[in-house]
Amino acid sequence: MNVPFDMWGSGNGPALRLLPQTRMLCGTAVFTSCMLLPFSTSAGTACAVGLTALWCLLCGMPLRRAVLCLGIAGALFVPILLMTPWIQAGDAHNSAMAGRLAASGTIALRASLCLFISFATITALPLSEAHTAFAGLPLPRTAAVLLVQMLNQTLFLIEETGRVIRAIRLRGAGRGLHVRLLFSFPVVWMGRMLFRAERTAMAMTMRGYTVRDGLPASVSCYAGKDILMLVTTGCIAVGSLVLRILS
Amino acid sequence: MTSEKTLIFKDVTVRYHDKSASVLSGITMGVSSNERVALFGLNGSGKTTLLLAATGLLPFTGRIVVDGIELTKKTADTVRDRIGFLFSTPEDQILFPRVIDDTAFSLTRRKIPVKEAHARAHDALARLGAADLADKSPFQLSHGQRQRVALAGALVAAPPLLLLDEPSSALDPAGKRSLAVTLSGINAAMLVATHDIPFAASVCSRYVLLNAGKTHSEGVDFKKAELCLDDSKI
Ligand SMILES: Nc1ncnc2c1ncn2[C@@H]1O[C@H](COP(=O)(O)OP(=O)(O)O)[C@@H](O)[C@H]1O
Ligand SMILES: [Mg+2]
């Protein structure tokens, strides 16, 4: 079926036994740590790599997804490495080239690790639990409802966009397709989106949907393992911040 | 067939915007309680508009009465509580990222305890052969499955009136047959907009045919409706 939708919740690691909101918060904490850890020391770099690997294992990220992630990271960040000769190195003590390589390598590595953490978190978060995750976050109710609906509608829109593109392709098959696609896509797409927005608004009125009822009635309480994970990842994030300040 | 009507349209004219031309004009019709009526018409003849008008979402003149309640601005919410609606594209009406929450919504909204609401939602899904979808996300479902989920959400609160917009349009023959059997077993008045005449004939006892926003004909002879729809002159 649809690759981006299949990815959600495709993992099978121990993290899936935590509450969805815990997974989301822990993923955010790990991501933050990875952003903060100083890469100027090899210890900091090793910490970041180890933390990312651990999180991927905890989420049970399938090998297929990991390979996909590696591919995307390569496509996105190898160009940064290729730009090394033009990068301004901050550290004047290093020989110019080595300094530049370290600077570009750091950017590429950090970005790749963050990508892995995001992908791993997604594989640990089935779409059907996303609203529970938002509902359980310490957010004002209205914000949580909005987030749930934004996610829901965005995913339907992505799907619809795919359909629009397929329809245009099918009907405009042949040469000159791309030019035609370029011109007809925005028009067709806008029309569809407006129509869908109108219909969904009608459905909401019809079904009596309000902010008050926009979240599932029962939100599970944090269990011991959730609190443990939250405290652990929280401490790691704080620790990373301290290391950052010290370095 | 009882004589009391669950849905009454009396000389109803509908326009989408106050000053635009009317899309439906002078519609008078009714659906008795537990009666299943097909609503035929070519594309653009006003079938969807008629169904939407019955929920008070479009400005109209004339009288619309649902389950004994006159439809006005004040009563619109009460009226909607008595209606189960199925859009022609089910994803328009699926509002939750997990099937069971969506199906149970009409009940949880009415402060029915979550446990009971979920149990009843499971029953509704099971009746439509979709019990195994309860914990899935709607994005993992096919069109036919989404339609069953949307229908379960409309049926779960047992509304006296069901308005179904092209329910069979994306179903395979087996899906159509099972939907027809399910609908025939439901105790509610139904208005089924469709141009699938064999499907309508297997579900409904009567039809109303719209043409360009007006009632063209009514009857019980579905063969005749088929001829009318095929006839390019209507
Ligand atoms: N949102 C809208 N605004 C203005 N006109 C509309 C809108 N939706 C439908 N119409 C018009 O109303 C007429 C009937 O449409 P509709 O009820 O959708 O037909 P059907 O469901 O029978 O195919 C069509 O001529 C259509 O152009
Ligand atoms: Mg229609």
The answer to whether the beta carbons of residues B82 and B160 sit under 8 Å apart is yes
pTM of the model: 0.80
Q: What's the pLDDT score for residue B124?
A: 93
In a domain, B150, yes or no: no
Residue B211, pLDDT > 50, answer yes
Is the CB of B18 inside a 6 Å radius of any atom of ligand 1? no
Cβ-Cβ contacts under 8 Å, B96 against chain A: 131, 148, 152, 216
The answer to whether the beta carbons of residues A123 and A68 sit under 8 Å apart is no
In a domain, A2, yes or no: no
**CA distances for B62 relative to B14, B46, B71, angstroms:** 9, 17, 10
Residue A164, pLDDT > 80, answer no
A69 and A24: one domain? yes
Q: What's the pLDDT score for residue A1?
A: 40
Q: What's the pLDDT score for residue A93?
A: 53
In a domain, B121, yes or no: no
Nearest CB to B97 within list A127, A208, A218:
A127
Give the number of other Cβ atoms within 10 Å of residue A9's Cβ: 20
Q: What's the pLDDT score for residue A191?
A: 82
Nearest CB to A204 within list B95, B101, B136:
B95
- In which band, very low, low, confident or very high, does the pLDDT at B49 lie, cut at 50, 70 and 90? very high
- Taking CA atoms only, the protein residue closest to ligand 1 atom 3 is B16
A161 and A139: one domain? yes
**CB contact residues (below 8 A), chain A span 186-245, against chain B:** 196, 199-200, 202-209, 213, 216-218
Tokens in use for A206? 């019809």
The conformational region for residue A68 under phi > 0 = left, psi -120 to 50 = alpha, else beta, is alpha
Instruction: Over range A161-189, report the average pLDDT.
Output: 69
- Do B99 and A128 count as a contact with CB atoms less than 8 A apart? yes
Per residue in A183-233, pLDDT (tens digit) is 777 777 888 888 888 888 899 888 888 877 777 655 667 788 888 899 999
In a domain, B102, yes or no: no
Overall domain count for chain B = 1
In a domain, A37, yes or no: yes
Is the CB of B23 inside a 6 Å radius of any atom of ligand 1? yes
Q: What's the pLDDT score for residue B119?
A: 94
Rounded to a whole number of angstroms, the distance from the CA of B102 to the nearest CA of chain A is: 9
In a domain, A118, yes or no: yes
d(CA A118, CA B40): 50
Domain that holds residue A55: 14-127+220-246
A105 and A78: one domain? yes
**CATH code of B203's domain:** 3.40.50.300
Tokens in use for A101? 């390589």
**CA distances for A167 relative to A154, A163, A188, angstroms:** 20, 6, 10
Instruction: Over range B160-184, report the average pLDDT.
Output: 90
Of B21, B64, B6, nearest to B190 (Cα)? B6
Domain that holds residue B50: 1-76+186-234
In a domain, A228, yes or no: yes
Cβ-Cβ contacts under 8 Å, B83 against chain A: 206
What is the residue-averaged pLDDT of chain B? Answer: 89
In a domain, A107, yes or no: yes
In a domain, A73, yes or no: yes
Q: Which residue has the higher pLDDT, A193 or A32?
A: A32
- In which band, very low, low, confident or very high, does the pLDDT at A141 lie, cut at 50, 70 and 90? confident
In a domain, B217, yes or no: yes
Of A172, A204, A27, A39, nearest to A111 (Cα)? A39
Rounded to a whole number of angstroms, the distance from the CA of B185 to the nearest CA of chain A is: 23
In a domain, B124, yes or no: no
Q: How many beta-carbon contacts under 8 Å exist across A and B?
A: 93
Residue A168, pLDDT > 80, answer no
- In which band, very low, low, confident or very high, does the pLDDT at B71 lie, cut at 50, 70 and 90? very high
Per residue in A85-136, pLDDT (tens digit) is 776 655 555 567 777 787 888 888 999 999 999 999 999 988 888 777 887 7
Q: What's the pLDDT score for residue B2?
A: 44
Cα Dmax for chain A: 69
Cβ-Cβ contacts under 8 Å, A204 against chain B: 95
Q: What's the pLDDT score for residue A7?
A: 84
Reduce the secondary structure of chain A to three states and give it as a string: CCHHHHHCCCCCCHHHHCCHHHHHHHHHHHHHHHHHCCCCCHHHHHHHHHHHHHHHHHHCCCHHHHHHHHHHHHHHHHHHHHCHHHCCCCCCCCCHHHHHHHHHHHHHHHHHHHHHHHHHHHHCCCHHHHHHHHHHCCCCHHHHHHHHHHHHHHHHHHHHHHHHHHHHHHHCCCCCHHHHHHHHHHHHHHHHHHHHHHHHHHHHHHHCCCHHHCCCCCCCCCCHHHHHHHHHHHHHHHHHHHHHHHC
- Taking CA atoms only, the protein residue closest to ligand 1 atom 2 is B16
Tokens in use for A168? 């245009």
d(CA A67, CA B14): 56
Q: What's the pLDDT score for residue A181?
A: 65
- Do A131 and B98 count as a contact with CB atoms less than 8 A apart? yes
Is the CB of B47 inside a 6 Å radius of any atom of ligand 1? yes
A115 and A231: one domain? yes
Ligand closest to Cα of B50 equals 1
In a domain, A9, yes or no: no
Burial A20-39 (b: 16+ CB within 10 A, else e): bbbbbbbbbbbbbbbbbbbb
In a domain, B106, yes or no: no
A94 and A207: one domain? no
A194 and A226: one domain? no
Pocket test for ligand 1, best of B23, B164, B215 (most atoms within 8 A of CB): B23
Determine what percent of chain B is predicted with pLDDT higher than 70. Answer: 97
A225 and A172: one domain? no
Residue of A nearest to B57 (CA): A202
Residue B1, pLDDT > 70, answer no
Cβ-Cβ contacts under 8 Å, A152 against chain B: 94-97
Per residue in B105-133, pLDDT (tens digit) is 999 888 888 889 999 999 999 988 889 99
DSSP for residue B112: -
Nearest CB to A206 within list B55, B114, B137:
B55
Residue of A nearest to B134 (CA): A128
A69 and A157: one domain? no
Q: Which residue has the higher pLDDT, A167 or A149?
A: A149
In a domain, A169, yes or no: yes
- In which band, very low, low, confident or very high, does the pLDDT at B62 lie, cut at 50, 70 and 90? very high
Residue A26 C-alpha to ligand 2 middle, in angstroms? 46
Overall domain count for chain A = 2
A91 and A191: one domain? no
Residue A59 C-alpha to ligand 2 middle, in angstroms? 45
Q: What's the pLDDT score for residue A178?
A: 64
Strand partners, B163: B85, B191
Q: Which atom of ligand 1 is nearest to the CA of B42?
A: 22
In a domain, B129, yes or no: no
Residue B161, pLDDT > 90, answer yes
The answer to whether the beta carbons of residues B43 and B63 sit under 8 Å apart is no
Classify the complex by whether its ipTM is higher than 0.90, answering yes or no. Answer: no
A44 and A112: one domain? yes
Is the CB of B183 inside a 6 Å radius of any atom of ligand 1? no
A23 and A111: one domain? yes
Per residue in B146-156, pLDDT (tens digit) is 999 999 999 99
The answer to whether the beta carbons of residues A58 and A14 sit under 8 Å apart is yes
**CA distances for A10 relative to A55, A66, A124, B201, angstroms:** 15, 12, 7, 44
What is the residue-averaged pLDDT of chain A? Answer: 83
d(CA B7, CA A9): 45
Residue A75, pLDDT > 50, answer yes
Strand partners, B5: B32
- Do A217 and B89 count as a contact with CB atoms less than 8 A apart? no
d(CA A152, CA A146): 10
d(CA B77, CA A206): 8
The conformational region for residue B41 under phi > 0 = left, psi -120 to 50 = alpha, else beta, is left
